[in-house]
Amino acid sequence: MHTCSKNRLILLLLALLAVAFLPADRAVGADDPPRRESTYVNMATWYRVDPDWPQRPAGVEWGQTAGVAVDAEDQIWVHTRANPPVQVYTPDGKYVRGWGEGIIGSAHYLKIGPEGNIWMADVKDHVVRQFTPQGRLLKTLGTPGEAGDDDHHLNKPTDMAITPDGQVFVSDGYGNSRVVHFDENGRFVKAWGSAGTGPGQFNLVHGIVVDSKGRLYVADRSNARIQVFDQSGRFIEQWRNLLVPWGLSITKDDEIWACGSSPMAWEEADGMLGCPPKDQLFMRLSTSGKLLQIWLVPKGEDGQEKPGEVNWVHAMDLDSNGNIYAGDIQGQKVQKFVRQN
């Protein structure tokens, strides 16, 4: 037999043998790439819930959990509508202390100021308060128990952003549609905003953070957008069609995190957009509004939430290792989502 014919016969036999050893449901195709183990790597950042976090002592209650913040020592501060309303935990879940009984009317967001003091919004008492970490009251913005829309009153304020020099910007809130600026001594400086959908207007101004350059990012929740301002109240830009933003936090590297739900239509029976939300998500953005990361979390059923599910996720913050702590309203808890990649 000719050498070329022998070579063709050998190649044909090898091909037939290769096909014979393939699984029955597989066929050789031109699109089948060679398997390289080094390419089978998960490039996505993902998270695993820690079902044992935290170890809450007997007698320490949780209700609707509206605020979560992480301090410089990676301690987790929880603002909940239960007793005690302020609770502190270590990263491994040990209970440190709690306080606030008889002081807090109804918890909303909580922030750690530049000097380590604790700022809290109270939607029932219409005030924002500053405390020491041990719970001693230092300052009150607004008039306790009185709602209003002037220099001395707030109306169900939701959140606050504190600059390194002590300026305070309050998102005000459920009752009003404005941002209020107070100086480092708690004196009223100015307010801006009104009800509506235009630039600089708000429909439930629900959260606020400030970056290292002093720009303010405001969660305009029921308008399904984040608006950006300078400290004089000048509108800079808006980020639309990304999410219905509930809570905002910001890292030392000026990365903005938001939690909430994906954009959705108003339902006839809804008092506010996204109540109930159709899904639940965490989102990381640059200061220019570029989407850097998204992580969807299963939405739990009322009263049947499982570890790793959230239900009306309301607040979030991150520790120095990139782990997420999230508090929700219907689920009435805080969970730790441990970064895996």
CATH of the domain at 326: 2.120.10.30
CA angle, residues 215, 86, 120, in degrees to nearest 5: 30
Flag whether 16 is in a domain: no
Flag whether 264 is in a domain: yes
> What is the mean pLDDT of the segment spanning 100-114?
96
One-letter identity of residue 169: F
End-to-end CA distance of the chain: 60
User: pLDDT tens digit string along 157-174?
Assistant: 999 999 999 999 999 999
User: pLDDT tens digit string along 60-98?
Assistant: 999 999 999 999 999 999 999 999 999 999 999 999 999
Per-residue pLDDT at 32 exceeds 80: no
Return the pLDDT at 9: 58
Flag whether 224 is in a domain: yes
Lowest-pLDDT choice from 16-30, 39-53, 69-83, 137-151? 16-30
User: pLDDT tens digit string along 111-126?
Assistant: 999 999 999 999 999 9
Q: What is the DSSP letter of 16?
A: H
CA dihedral 240, 243, 247, 253 (to 10 degrees): -70
Flag whether 196 is in a domain: yes
| Domain boundaries, position 62 | 53-339
Flag whether 100 is in a domain: yes
Cβ count near 139 (within 10 Å): 16
Using DSSP, state whether 324 is helix, strand or coil.
Answer: strand
Using DSSP, state whether 274 is helix, strand or coil.
Answer: coil
Flag whether 13 is in a domain: no
Return the pLDDT at 20: 47
Helix (H) or strand (E) holding 185: none
Flag whether 38 is in a domain: no
Per-residue pLDDT at 22 exceeds 70: no
> What is the mean pLDDT of the segment spanning 19-47?
64
Flag whether 178 is in a domain: yes
> What is the mean pLDDT of the segment spanning 40-64?
93
What total number of domains does the chain contain? Answer: 1
Answer whether 184's CB lies under 8 Å from 167's CB.
Answer: yes
- Res. 277 pLDDT band, cuts 50 70 90: very high
Which residue bears the tokens 């605020």?
A: 67
Sorted by sequence, the CB contacts under 8 Å of residue 14 that are 6+ apart come out as: none
Return the pLDDT at 19: 45
Sorted by sequence, the CB contacts under 8 Å of residue 130 that are 6+ apart come out as: 113, 117, 118, 119, 137, 138, 139, 140
Per-residue pLDDT at 15 exceeds 90: no
Return the pLDDT at 31: 65
Average pLDDT, the chain: 92
User: pLDDT tens digit string along 66-76?
Assistant: 999 999 999 99
One-letter identity of residue 163: T
The Cα 302–Cα 29 span in angstroms is 49
Helix (H) or strand (E) holding 189: strand 188-192
